[in-house]
Amino acid sequence: APIRPALAAATRVPFGAAIQNELMNGQTAYRQLFVDHCDLVMPMNALKFNLLRPTEATWNFAPADRVVDFAMANGKTSRGTCHVWWGATPDWVKAIESPSEAERVLIEHIERVGDRYKGKLIGWDVVNEVVANDPLYENRSLRDTYWLRTLGPRHIAIAFKAAANADPEAQLALNDYDLEFKGPHYDERRTIVLSIVRQLQDANIRIDAVGMQGHLYADKVIDVEAIDRFHRDLDALGVKLLVTELDVIDCKSPPDAQSQDKTAAALVSRFLDALFAFKRPELLVCWGLTDRYSWINEVMPRPDGMASRPLPFDRDLSPKPWFEML
Ligand code: XIL
């Protein structure tokens, strides 16, 4: 039985997932999983700067088009991630030293890409992971990136402004991780996000949403009260809360499926309780759908070498208990 029966279909939060276009070839069952279960299907990587424009002279829209067309052909919405991300700045951009040239390239990129997908994407992660990883320890609020070094904190405003120009209807979001947990480090990260939102608004620059990535960890404590407060604080500023990259990183539970799935269900349930305490989040997106393909398998594999189970469907594409909660 559904663990959260009160969430009838009609009131369900729109559910989405990121798809890897390179896995779509001939993978009928993989593709069908998104068709069957998602309201929104978005490219996991194809809209990142380095993949869209790997050299100054090369634009590569085909992979992103493929996902967006797939979404539209199946009656799904889609969204874009991301214009500004330290992990996706191409080398040719990083070689630009002049601030005015860097600004020109950033605006050109966002305006061209935003315009190209206008009307096809409900929104964009305009900036991704701009908050310092550990602000208290590093004694800085923003992450040290090419964009920060070259343009300063104003690169955030520049990006949001360009995104709004390019696609006035798109929901423009700031997206970040580690906004879900208990502790001074995480409190500080939430505080920094709120202050970026206020600074943009004070400058009359539109920001519509904050994306919590929602990479949950078995060894981090979800702070229900802090998430609730954060949600209310954002709402008071007129900014929506989205969950953009939900999955579960569990290097701790016993390796068997039952133990891992029990841990995941408890974490997701607690996270949903925190999100729903105030009001329904606008959107809930998982970072993939099946354990067969997840960045966790490469980036944060279990130390015991056993298979991870980060996503709502297992390697055989069967739903796990926590999928019923969504
Ligand atoms: C990851 C993808 O899942 C990988 O396929 C890719 O190689 C690197 O990026 N936070 C983010 C996402 O904002 O964009 C990252 O996605 C995962 C962490």
Domain boundaries, the chain: 9-16+79-325
Local structure of 261: helix, strand or coil? helix
Phi-psi region of 250 (alpha: psi -120 to 50; beta: other; left: phi over 0): beta
User: Is the CB of residue 173 below 6 angstroms from any atom belonging to ligand 1?
Assistant: no
Return the structure tokens found at 150. 């070259």
Q: Which atom of ligand 1 is nearest to the CA of 128?
A: 13
Burial class (CB in 10 A: 0-12, 13-18, 19+), 201: middle
CA distance 34 to 288: 9
Q: How far is the CA of 296 from the centre of ligand 1 (A)?
A: 9
Q: What dihedral angle (degrees, nearest 10) is formed by the CA atoms of 250, 256, 257, 263? A: -40
CATH 3.20.20.80 fits 9-16+79-325, yes or no: yes
Burial readout 217-235 (b: 16 or more C-beta within 10 A, e: otherwise): beebebbbebbbbbbebbe
**Structure pTM?**
0.96
* Residue 64: φ, ψ to 5°: -70, -40
Which value does ipTM take for this structure?
0.99
CA distance 282 to 40: 12
HEC string of 21-83 equals HHHCCCCHHHHHHHHHHCCEEEECCCCCHHHHCCECCECCCHHHHHHHHHHHHCCCECCEEEE
Residue owning tokens 């069952």: 29
User: Is the CB of residue 45 below 6 angstroms from any atom belonging to ligand 1?
Assistant: yes
CA distance 83 to 256: 39
Q: How far is the CA of 128 from the centre of ligand 1 (A)?
A: 11
> What pLDDT, on a 0 to 100 scale, did the predictor assign at position 3?
38
CA distance 284 to 36: 16
Nearest Cα neighbor of 178 from 225, 136, 127, 212 is 212
CA distance 184 to 137: 11
Full pLDDT tens readout for the chain, 326 residues: 333 444 445 568 999 999 999 999 999 999 999 999 999 999 999 999 999 999 999 999 999 999 999 999 999 999 999 999 999 999 999 999 999 999 999 999 999 999 999 999 999 999 999 999 999 999 999 999 999 999 999 999 999 999 999 999 999 999 999 999 999 999 999 999 999 999 999 999 999 999 999 999 999 999 999 999 999 999 999 999 999 999 999 999 999 999 999 999 999 999 999 999 999 899 999 999 999 999 999 999 999 999 999 999 999 999 999 998 88
User: Is the CB of residue 263 below 6 angstroms from any atom belonging to ligand 1?
Assistant: no
> What pLDDT, on a 0 to 100 scale, did the predictor assign at position 12?
81
CA distances in angstroms from 281 to 193, 200, 205, listed in the order given: 17, 22, 23
